[in-house]
Amino acid sequence: MHRDFSQLQESDNMTPADKMQAIVYEAYGPPDVLHLKMVEKPVPGDNDVLVKVRAATVTMGDCEIRNLLLPLWTRIPVRLIMGYWKPRNITPGMEFSGTIESVGKNVTRFTKGDEVFGSAGMSMGANAEYKKVKASGSLAIKPAAVSFEDAATVIVGGLNALHFLRKANIHAGQKVLVIGAGGSIGSYGVLLAKFFGAEVTAVDRTDKLDIIKRIGADYVIDYTKEDFTSTGKKYDVIFDVVYGSSFRGCVDALTDDGCYLMANTNPTRMLQGLWVSWTTRKKIIFALAAEHVEDMNYLADLIATGKIKPLIDKRYPLSRTAEAHHYVERGDKTGNVIIQVNHS
């Protein structure tokens, strides 16, 4: 569905200099709860920077937080963090890139005009013209050779894929299977596993496989036509982004000392994983990724030097963020979806 907000809803009692455009939602629900609104422009504190956003993303995580169609065991904790009856942080967006507009008086790491990329964290707010960020947080200088769009994809897809592959001690010559290779994390998983010298098999649906092969997958499996767990092939690393496959089938498809990486999981699979790790040489890993600036810089350098190239599917202007959410929520994207923030 196309929603282009030509008539902005506007908050009262603000001068033009105090205003910015932002996507807001004031109730949980489908993409249509999102609307473009004139809101108060953030004012940085002494330890903050104000970023003029140039690019942001829409991830499946953004959609899950907006609609709360989460597994039951996570739904209540997410409500407690984000607002139980209605969202506390009303502007979505987890990751962004842009230019520093102003800095707080205690900030020494950054100066006005620096091009940066970073994480909005659980405060969200990246789908807006400006974002206030702690200077000590997950914020890094963007290399000149990296586009704003590529930089905006690093946090969710890049950091998570790097984290899990490092947990598996990824190295050249290994056979790696990526389940859900067409997503933000999965596509970075393919790119990084290839960079580290692995042989990569990617699993996803029919319409995404040609694109995944183009970014480096050696083999592809269409999960709608073939069950990789029944082929008898063994993998050193299985990186499961969607956990739609059988846990036992994935474990059986590992080599004797292989590693099963669960980027999405549930308590039952965690307990099963602990048991397998205790009773066999196989390792089951489900730890969440941290957002270290050193890792952000590492990934940005890989992009700047052409060693990896983030996969971008579609681009939408800020005013069409709801349409982008529809596209992502249907599972149609391959790689990353960008929100372009064009300042008038």
Task: Tell me what pLDDT residue 40 has.
Answer: 94
Q: What b-and-e string marks burial along 104-132, b requiring 16 or more CB atoms within 10 Å of the CB?
A: beebeebeeebbbbbbbbebbbbbbbbbb
Picking from 277, 292, 257, 66, the residue whose alpha carbon sits closest to that of residue 160 is 292
CATH architecture of 157-285: 3-Layer(aba) Sandwich (3.40)
CATH architecture of 9-153+310-340: Alpha-Beta Complex (3.90)
For residue 283, CA distances in Å to 160, 193, 236, 237, 248 come to 18, 18, 10, 9, 13
Strand-pairing partners, residue 222, are 204
Residue with tokens 């899950």: 64
- Integer Cα distance of 311 and 333 in angstroms: 10
Task: Tell me what pLDDT residue 47 has.
Answer: 97
The DSSP bridge pattern shows strands 199-204 and 19-24 to be unpaired
Task: Tell me what pLDDT residue 329 has.
Answer: 96
The one-letter code for the residue type at 300 is: A
Evaluated on CA atoms 108, 114, 118, 120, the torsion sign reads: positive
- Integer Cα distance of 143 and 301 in angstroms: 7
For the chain, the three-class secondary structure string (H helix, E strand, C coil) is CCCCCCCCEECCCCCHHHEEEEEECCCCCCHHHCEEEEEECCCCCCCEEEEEEEEEEECHHHHHHHHCCCCHHHHHHHHHHHCCCCCCCCCCCCEEEEEEEEECCCCCCCCCCCEEEEECHHHCCCCECEEEEECCCCEEECCCCCCHHHHHCHHHHHHHHHHHHHHCCCCCCCEEEEECCCCHHHHHHHHHHHHCCCEEEEEECHHHHHHHHHCCCCEEEECCCCCHHHCCCCEEEEEECCCCCCHHHHHHCEEEEEEEEECCCCHHHHHHHHHHHHHCCCEEECCCCCCCHHHHHHHHHHHHCCCCCCCEEEEEEHHHHHHHHHHHHCCCCCCEEEEECCCC
* Burial category of 232 from C-beta neighbours within 10 Å (exposed 0-12, middle 13-18, buried 19 and up): exposed
Task: Tell me what pLDDT residue 324 has.
Answer: 98
CATH 3.90.180.10 in the chain, residue ranges: 9-153+310-340
Task: Tell me what pLDDT residue 5 has.
Answer: 43
What is the mean pLDDT of each successive set of 10 residues along the chain, which is 344 residues long?
44 70 95 96 96 97 89 80 82 97 97 97 93 97 98 98 97 97 97 98 97 97 93 95 89 97 88 94 91 97 98 98 97 97 85
CATH 3.40.50.720 in the chain, residue ranges: 157-285
Task: Tell me what pLDDT residue 321 has.
Answer: 98
